[in-house]
Amino acid sequence: MTEQLTSSSDTDRQAVTVLGLGLMGQALAGAFLAAGHRTTVWNRSAAKAEELAAQGATLAATLRDAVAASPLVIVCVTDYPAVRALLDPVSADLVGRVVVNLTSGTSQQARETAEWAAQHGFSYLDGVILAIPSAIATDEAVLLYSGPRAAFDAHEQTLGSLGAATSHLGADHGLSALYDMAMLSLMWSVLNGFLHGAALLGTAQVDATTLAPFLTQGLHTMSGWLTATAAQIDAGAYPAEDSTLDVHLAAMAHLVEESEAVGVNAELPRLAQALAGRAVDEGRGGDDYAALIEQFRKPAPR
Ligand SMILES: NC(=O)c1ccc[n+]([C@@H]2O[C@H](COP(=O)([O-])OP(=O)(O)OC[C@H]3O[C@@H](n4cnc5c(N)ncnc54)[C@H](OP(=O)(O)O)[C@@H]3O)[C@@H](O)[C@H]2O)c1
């Protein structure tokens, strides 16, 4: 009972170690400090720890000391090879701790690192940060984790210091990277569409600032389409409710023609046209746009 009371009242002040103090690592460590956690930091180039030390973080003299200081070890470095180079020499010291890797990478790298962690006998969560450093610890920061649920549950409150939206996606370590990839795919598709549109309007001396509110409104409408599209994808049936793929394909031809006629880059609409064209060739012309999922599920033909 005493033990229970002690551990629950101490939860807010759980010690945490942050390895890697680049732009993101500094924001993470700063958020833990601001939330009242005993925060130990370490960076390959020690100078980057000075500001955090001035704010109250403990600057570990060695990497081993940094790992030993906390049951929860956060890693945020450039890439997965850097993660392994960093953690390999202290793998034995990590046993009994939970390592949370917030470095960006692929699902395969996440799963391989999880296997490596299992071989060395320490608990591992892979995570992604859908935010920029200045958004850490605000309502805008979304952080996603995958790996053993028990490890997440044990540290959920501490991890909650990094952002309002903190979710555990499942036991498969690759899930957080895959969600990250899906968000990146959406982000670049939307931004490329806007840039292509701005280039088109630029040929008529309309500036991007004038175009932006119009397309923002369109984006808001389109965001409502995702749920219905998802339902069709999951059902594997694509009845056209508003327009068929044939109609989309005809409009894509206009977009390619327009782009070429005014001399802007037509690669983006040509890609859309190629995907839809193949779906129509496979007999999907009368279906909803969601039928294109079949094109995305397989590699592009060479
Ligand atoms: N910045 C963002 O907006 C953002 C958003 C989401 C996710 N992320 C992800 O967060 C991770 C870090 O990004 P960042 O913006 O903080 O990058 P950064 O400012 O370039 O910092 C990179 C960090 O990695 C360390 N590092 C690199 N190689 C290392 C090695 N072999 N051994 C030990 N430490 C090594 C660097 O140490 P030194 O200081 O000694 O060079 C530095 O602390 C990346 O995976 C990035 O994709 C960043």
pLDDT in tens, 42-82: 999 999 999 999 999 999 999 999 999 999 999 999 999 99
What are the CA-CA distances from residue 236 to residues 140, 222, 279 (Å)? 34, 21, 14
CB of 187 within 6 A of ligand 1: the answer is no
SS3 state of residue 165: strand
| Ligand 1 atom nearest to CA at 79 | 45
CA within 13 Å, CB half, 134 = 0
| Ligand 1 atom nearest to CA at 21 | 43
pLDDT of residue 2 exceeding 50, the answer is no
Per-residue pLDDT averaged across 7-34, rounded? Answer: 85
Burial (CB count <10 Å: 0-12, 13-18, 19+), residue 199: middle
Q: Which CATH class is domain 179-296?
A: mainly alpha
Nearest CA to ligand 1 atom 29: 82
| Ligand 1 atom nearest to CA at 44 | 40
pLDDT tens digits along 175-228? 999 999 999 999 999 999 999 999 999 999 999 999 999 999 999 999 999 999
List, in order, residues 6 or more apart from 299 with CB less than 8 Å away: none
- 3.40.50.300, 3.40.50.720, 1.10.630.10, 1.10.10.10: CATH of 12-171: 3.40.50.720
pLDDT of residue 17 exceeding 50, the answer is yes
Annotate 31-61 with DSSP letters as a single string.
HHHHTT--EEEE-SSGGGGHHHHHHT-EE-S
CB of 82 within 6 A of ligand 1: the answer is yes
CB of 104 within 6 A of ligand 1: the answer is yes
CB of 134 within 6 A of ligand 1: the answer is no
CB of 48 within 6 A of ligand 1: the answer is yes
CB of 23 within 6 A of ligand 1: the answer is yes
Instruction: Give pLDDT, residue 12.
Output: 52
CB of 63 within 6 A of ligand 1: the answer is no
Instruction: Print the SS3 string covering 96-143.
Output: CCEEEECCCCCHHHHHHHHHHHHHHCCEEEEEEEECCHHHCCCCCCEE
Instruction: Give pLDDT, residue 165.
Output: 83
In angstroms, what is the span from residue 41 Cα to ligand 1's centroid? 14
Please state the length of the chain.
Answer: 302
Amino acid identity of 259? Answer: S
φ, ψ dihedrals at 102, nearest 5°: -105, 20
pLDDT of residue 3 exceeding 80, the answer is no
In angstroms, what is the span from residue 18 Cα to ligand 1's centroid? 12
| Ligand 1 atom nearest to CA at 130 | 6
pLDDT tens digits along 237-266? 999 989 999 999 999 999 999 999 999 999
All CATH 3.40.50.720 domain ranges in the chain, comma separated: 12-171
| Ligand 1 atom nearest to CA at 81 | 31
Paired residues of 251 in beta bridges: none
Nearest CA to ligand 1 atom 30: 82
| Ligand 1 atom nearest to CA at 26 | 16
CB of 44 within 6 A of ligand 1: the answer is yes
Quick one: pLDDT band at residue 5, thresholds 50, 70, 90? very low
pLDDT of residue 10 exceeding 80, the answer is no
All CATH 1.10.1040.10 domain ranges in the chain, comma separated: 179-296
CB of 47 within 6 A of ligand 1: the answer is no
pLDDT tens digits along 86-129? 999 999 999 999 999 999 999 999 999 999 999 999 999 999 99
